Structure 1
């Protein structure tokens, strides 16, 4: 995307631009919330399904991560398809926009759950299950937002979607 057009688009939406490459914290926060939404839907659904079916930790986490990527990409896909892109182009945009953000979010969130004592063995009815999962999302959001700011400032990540909004 043309940097001047990208800067103009940013300025139209956010006048609090700071830091490298003109990426604002507001834009990074919005991109991370978008990522968190898809990740949370998929992650929670995967954890609920795996736990309810009595699956072990590894298959449950694999399902949760796969669903987090699927829901994360689907949110972007639906938006860029509505903007008029064909499916092939929309898939390329979603992959470019969301892969790093979702990967960082999933790595951090799952690491938090994995290192929280007892969380991997907790049941859906236990507060520990939900505290670890939701706490992981909070930490993942905090650590993914600067990553998204850095990427957007370089015209990467969620910045590629802005050409179609």
Structure 2
């Protein structure tokens, strides 16, 4: 496990490799690194303009993780009625399996719960076995399938969790 240190602006924790990782809200200067991680992580990355649009719409739930002052991961979420939606989460491929994604998700769930959310959902590619297992370990369960959800017609699995 890791130790979390909190103050009013950011959270800090020691990753699985022992380095300090900070969580904070996204700022516009982060866009280049967020897009780089997005592009390395997804077949159909969101365009930087769309990512900035998400930031303008959901500034309190667009979080980044930094190691040595460099963005190494991010998560974007939103609320719809009493539900939360994880729009995107990614960690730099060379920084994965160090609890960065888990810590981003835990902080996001805490923030969404503070907004009155009692359940969350997300979409994941049916072929993304590693991500499905990651979410399963966080308590997500299958809630359905959306046929042809992605631009290449791959199905999405809907995963849900109470918070």
Name the structure where strand makes up a greater proportion of residues.
2
Higher RCO structure, 1 or 2 (CA under 8 Å, sep 6+): 1
State the TM-score, normalized to the length of structure 1: 0.26
Name the structure where helix makes up a greater proportion of residues.
1
State the TM-score, normalized to the length of structure 2: 0.26
